[in-house]
A = this chain, B = another copy of it.
């Protein structure tokens, strides 16, 4: 996974910097040890390879054995992975490995709840750009592990024409025309709409994806009918676990949820260390 190494190196530098002085002062060199990573609550597993990579970055001789495939749903108390190697290396990698793993499991677990909530409808759960600065790639990975799909990665690989954009260009139709002339032919054009009139305009403009932004359930249903398969339909705004099912049942194709990444809480996972 391109970029993963620099995230891990930066995180280790942030934590260890000039040295783990407690370990350097207190722990003898070359003491073999083993540790177990344990889920303290039920969760969807995401990021075990990332956690493993943290330990092997600290010390290439550490062995990390994951017990589950990514995406597995595990019960509280489950053993997630075993780590073995030099005690000092395990102590130095512990916090960074857990910080990443707890966050990724948190995102995958929350995503899975949304996916579950819309099961049986045609709607798919997607993420947004409301991610943690520096960790977007990993967080979007966790969304996929949880069963969601990804929206554009950033401003560079997708076109989303919002109100402000189209106003600048003289309307949705002009904006879509300009975008078509500029962007790679490999990208679809998405238009954000706030009313049925705008939906109609986006359709006429040839938008390939139409976002219904903060619409009432009833309006969404009308929009879906109006679009009638001529574009992908994305619902956005006001989505939470209480509302997502009703939104899905309007017939939209895609529901984007910022909370997946900006408000997932860390899962409770701990590392138990014992002498080797």
Contacts and interface: CB of A to CB of B under 8 A. Distances in A.
B21 A151 contact: no
A91 to B, nearest CB: 7
B155 A15 contact: yes
**Dominant secondary structure at the A interface:** mixed
Contacts of A131: 99
Contacts of A16: 2, 154-156
A66 interface: no
A14 interface: yes
Contact of A18 (B132, B153, B165): B153
Nearest to A134: B134
A135 to B, nearest CB: 7
Interface stretch (A69-77, A180-188, A217-225, A241-249): A180-188
Contacts of A144: 182
Interface string A163-182: 01111110000010011011
Q: Which of A99, A152, A157, A161 has most B Cβ within 10 Å?
A: A157
A100 interface: yes
